[in-house]
Amino acid sequence: MAEGMTRRTAVTVGAAGLGSLAGAAAAPAGAAIAVSPTLFSIPQMTIPVVGNSAAFPVRRVYCIGRNYAAHAREMGSDPSREPPFFFQKPADAVVVVQPGTTGTIAYPTLTKNFHYEIEMVAFLKGGGRNIPIEKALELVIGYSVGLDMTRRDLQDAMKKEQKPWEIGKAFDQSAPLGPIHLADKVGHIAKGRIALSVNGAVKQNSDLSNMIWNVAEQIAQLSRANELFAGDIIFSGTPENVGPVVAGDAMVGMIAGLPDLTVKVAGPLPV
């Protein structure tokens, strides 16, 4: 049953893709076309939705950079002059952690400076191009607490060499997050405390209202660079006082109105 649904989804996407390539002569989006079987199957990352037996399938994971003024300053840039920019993590970097449990992520390879960044995450149930700010929140199905884990030394080294700093951000298990809380239930969260503690000591402590670009503005901006789709998720930036964790540390991420996210750092991945 699940396999059949997956194949039907692939057919629809394939037809739409042909449509954009072949122009007016193409089959209408959604029309059935012959699709070859795949050599092997790969898992679809999903995130549980509170109060719904159906899970959220992840398409892309977007993250905004330097979206709180004090964090932009600690990263060495001027928040007043910086337009928003985005990067991505792979969908399978997501690690789902249920409230009331402690999730585990490996201490990643190649780094000696593994940083936390507490962030609110927004989940899209629809998309589009050039989305107006005033329509953007209609596309958000809900929110969760997430961590944009970062190999800061690798990010810094790549910045210095003017190379892409993907290796510092887009790595295995770099996006732990909690289940999705529907906007219908918790509202569109725009203010309230966002904080992170490590081993019980508060490290980051701010308010969501300190975002330079709010979630609606982020969606509007991002939709100018890429067409957005249902299944896309957006990490909405971290406040100041990012810092390192080591194996054995336990992080607790907190956002007012959402349950805490608890994540422990295990030893390194086996080589």
- Region near Mn ion per CB under 5 A, out of 74-82, 95-103, 232-240, 253-261: 232-240
Q: Are 159 and 153 in contact (CB under 8 A)?
A: no
Number of residues that bind Mn ion (CB under 5 A): 3
Alpha carbon distance 7, 162 (integer Å):
42
Binding to Mn ion, residues 103-162 (CB under 5 A): 117, 148
- Region near Mn ion per CB under 5 A, out of 10-18, 69-77, 209-217, 231-239: 231-239
Q: Which is nearer to Mn ion, 78 or 138 (CB)?
A: 78
Alpha carbon distance 182, 52 (integer Å):
9
Q: Are 147 and 175 in contact (CB under 8 A)?
A: yes
Q: Which is nearer to Mn ion, 58 or 75 (CB)?
A: 75
Alpha carbon distance 121, 251 (integer Å):
17
- Region near Mn ion per CB under 5 A, out of 45-53, 96-104, 138-146, 236-244: 236-244
User: C-alpha distances in angstroms, 257 versus 189, 190, 209, 226, 237?
Assistant: 8, 11, 14, 31, 18
Q: Which residue is nearest to Mn ion (CB)?
A: 148
Q: Which is nearer to Mn ion, 223 or 238 (CB)?
A: 238
Provide, rounded to whole angstroms, the least separation between the CB of residue 3 and Mn ion: 36
Of 111, 214, 236, 238, which lies in the binding site for Mn ion, with binding defined by CB under 5 A?
238
Q: Are strands 114-116 and 150-151 parallel, antiparallel or unpaired?
A: antiparallel
Task: State the residues that interact with Mn ion by CB under 5 A.
Answer: 117, 148, 238
